[in-house]
Structures are given as C-alpha cells and as structure tokens.
Amino acid sequence: MRLAHKRNVQNKLQKRMKAFAVKPTLKQSDTKTQTPVSASQPKVAKIVNENLTPKQAQVLNIVTQHADGINPKSIGLEAGQEETKAASWATGALKKLLEDNFVEKVQLAGNKVLYKRA
C-alpha cells in the first residue's frame, strides 16, 4: 500500500513538472511578440514573476513599493495577514527571494531587519 501511494505521488509530481515546463515556453513566445510595445523594465518584472510563487510575487511587489525598506511584519500586514502571524508569513517568501537575490537584507540595531529591492 505504501509503495503504491509513493508511486502515485511521484506520478503526480512528474505531471506537474511537465505542465510547468510547457507553460513558460508558451509565455516566452507571447512576450516575444510584445517586445516592441513594452519597455525593458516591465519585461524583466514579468519574467521574474513567472518563476516565483504567487506569495513570493506578492511579497516582492510589496518590497518594491517601499524603496526605503520594510520589515517582515509590515509586509505581512500589508498583505492582509493577522498581526500575530504577519512576520512569520512573510519570512518564508523572503528567504527564497534573498537566495535568488531579488531583495537584500539590511541589518539594523539589535534584531531589527529591513528588506529592500536589490
């Protein structure tokens, strides 16, 4: 029973990976037709957003709106989370964005941290 379940899960993951592999190629062909119309900055933002989860894209948009920097709790509150869960909600997405160099971390006095767009 466990092996059958594992096999089913692996098959679902393979199907999901194939679906993701097909979608970006279609979107890239759409962006090629739109290149003369749009400016260079929006194209970069669209390509970046295709590789991110919706949560990461939302956090990235919030960080981009605040050029002077924003802390994780404020990011979560702006996204509509409860005050008690706001910082932990944003932290997961911020870690991934830090790894991919979309945002940079600014350490302030003590344990205060601000995130800015890289």
Domain parsing of the chain, residue ranges? 54-117
Is the CB of residue 37 less than 8 Å from the CB of residue 31?
A: no
DSSP state of 1: -
Between 9 and 46, where is the model more confident?
9
For domain 54-117, the question of CATH label 1.10.30.50 is answered with no
Planar angle of CA 57, 107, 94, nearest 5 degrees: 20
Residue 49, amino acid: N
Give the whole-angstrom CA distance, residue 86 versus residue 29.
38
pLDDT at 39: 47
Is the CB of residue 106 less than 8 Å from the CB of residue 113?
A: yes
pLDDT at 44: 45
Asked if the model's pLDDT at residue 17 lies above 80, the reply is: no
Rounded mean pLDDT, 62-81: 91
Is the CB of residue 70 less than 8 Å from the CB of residue 30?
A: no
pLDDT at 35: 45
Q: Name the average pLDDT for the chain.
A: 77
Is the CB of residue 118 less than 8 Å from the CB of residue 108?
A: no
105: helix, strand or coil: strand
Give the whole-angstrom CA distance, residue 44 versus residue 113.
27
Asked if the model's pLDDT at residue 68 lies above 70, the reply is: yes
Asked if the model's pLDDT at residue 36 lies above 60, the reply is: no
